[in-house]
Amino acid sequence: MFQPEHALLHRGFIAASGALLIAAFGTDYCYYQTSLSQWSNFSAWLITIGLLVMLVAIILLAIDFVTGRARRLEPVSFLLVMAAGLLSFINVFIHSRDAWESVVPQGIFLSAAATILFAIAGARGWSLAMSHTAAGRP
């Protein structure tokens, strides 16, 4: 039986981070199509905020383990999200360049790669750990 007091804390923040970083791919694509520099600014903001939310999720993941809510790490989901986070971390530096060079070609490629990794992680359930109440499910 599911007990809400044992729910994993990090799941919603991982999903929110993924949504922000996936949205950055959308704004990169809009910039690529229109060359309006504000889309590039939106991408940089989305990536930065997405990484900050991911940092909160990592802290909450640590709290999940310390408080005993999490039983063990889900290795595939963890690697997918961490790879997407690393690509997004590199991408935030690329997006600090001047408008066109910040998106084409490296910025949009890194955003697309992170989007694919987050889509796979989302299909797996946005959980980086197994809970005690999940009975073997993430």
CA distance 114 to 85: 7
pLDDT tops 50 at residue 1: no
User: What is the pLDDT averaged over residues 103-115?
Assistant: 92
Pick one of 1.10.3470, 3.30.565, 1.20.120, 1.10.20 as the CATH number of 8-131. 1.20.120
Asked if 10 contacts 129 with a C-beta cutoff of 8 angstroms, the reply is yes
Asked if 20 contacts 46 with a C-beta cutoff of 8 angstroms, the reply is yes
pLDDT of residue 98: 82
pLDDT tops 90 at residue 25: yes
From the number of C-beta atoms within 10 Å of its C-beta (0-12, 13-18, 19+), residue 70 rates as buried
pLDDT of residue 96: 87
Domain ranges of the chain: 8-131
Q: To which H or E segment does residue 131 belong? A: strand 129-131
pLDDT tops 50 at residue 85: yes
101 falls in which pLDDT band (50, 70, 90)? confident
pLDDT tops 60 at residue 119: yes
